[in-house]
Amino acid sequence: MHRERYGAEPRVFAAPGRVNLIGEHTDYAEGFVMPAAIDFATLAGISPRTDGKIAIWAENYGEERVFEAGALPEERSGHWSDYPVGVLRMLEEDGHRIPPLSLTLWGDVPLGSGLSSSAAVEVATALAAADLVGAQYDGPGLARLCQRAENRFVGSSCGIMDQFVSVNAREGCALLLDCRDLSYRLAPIPADVALVIANTMVRHAVTGGEYTSRRAEVEEAAAVIGRHRPEVKFLRDATVEDLERWGGEMSPNALKRARHVITENTRTVAAAEALIQKDLHELGRLIAEAHWSYSRDFEASCEEADAMVELAQGLPGLIGARLTGGGFGGCTVNLVEAQQAEAFRASLGESYRLRTGIEAQIHICHASAGAHRVE
Ligand code: GLA
| Helical packing angle, 252-276 and 280-292, nearest 10° | 170
* CA 326 – ligand 1 centroid, Å: 5
Name the strand (E) or helix (H) holding 36: strand 35-48
Q: How far, in Å, from the CA of 327 to the mean position of ligand 1? A: 8
309 neighbors 322 (Cβ within 8 angstroms):
yes
Check if 326 has its Cβ closer than 6 Å to any atom of ligand 1.
yes
Which atom of ligand 1 lies at the shortest distance from residue 116's CA? 7
- What does the alpha-carbon distance between residue 189 and residue 181 come to, in Å, rounded to a whole number? 24
Ligand 1 atom at shortest distance from the alpha carbon of 150 = 8
Closest ligand 1 atom, residue 20 Cα: 12
Of 27, 82, 162, 306, the catalytic one is 162
> Is the CB of 150 within 6 Å of ligand 1?
no
**Pocket lining: 189 vs ligand 1, CB cutoff 6 Å:** no
Tens-level pLDDT at each residue, the chain (375 residues)? 899 999 999 999 999 999 999 999 999 999 999 999 999 999 999 999 999 999 999 999 999 999 999 899 999 999 999 999 999 999 999 999 999 999 999 999 998 889 999 999 999 999 999 999 999 999 999 999 999 999 999 999 999 999 999 999 999 999 999 999 999 999 999 999 999 999 999 987 555 689 999 999 999 999 999 999 999 999 999 999 999 999 999 999 999 999 999 999 999 999 999 999 999 999 999 999 999 999 999 999 999 999 999 999 989 999 999 999 999 999 999 999 999 999 999 999 999 999 999 999 999 999 999 999 998
This model's pTM is above 0.85: yes
- Sheet strands side by side (includes 35-48): 63-68, 53-58, 101-107, 35-48, 11-20, 372-374
Distance 329 CA to ligand 1 centre (A): 13
146 in contact with ligand 1, CB cutoff 6 A: no
**Three-state DSSP class for residue 45:** strand
Q: How far is the CA of 50 from the centre of ligand 1 (A)?
A: 39
User: Is 297 annotated as catalytic?
Assistant: no
Give the pLDDT confidence score for residue 306 in this predicted structure.
Answer: 98
Query: What per-residue confidence (pLDDT) applies to 65?
Result: 98
Q: Is 24 in the pocket of ligand 1 (CB under 6 A)?
A: yes
Q: Residue 328: what pLDDT?
A: 92
Q: Ligand 1 within 6 A of 10 CB? A: no
| DSSP reduced 3-state for 97 | coil
- Give the torsion sign (CA, 226, 160, 300, 315): negative
Can you list the positions of beta strands (E) in 142-245? 173-178, 183-188, 193-199
Terminal C-alpha separation, the chain = 16
Q: Is 237 in the pocket of ligand 1 (CB under 6 A)?
A: no
Query: How much distance in Å is there from the Cα of 88 to the middle of ligand 1?
Result: 22
Residue nearest to atom 2 of ligand 1 (CA): 158
* DSSP type of residue 371: -
Q: Is the CB of 31 under 6 A from ligand 1?
A: no
Residue with CA closest to ligand 1 atom 5: 326
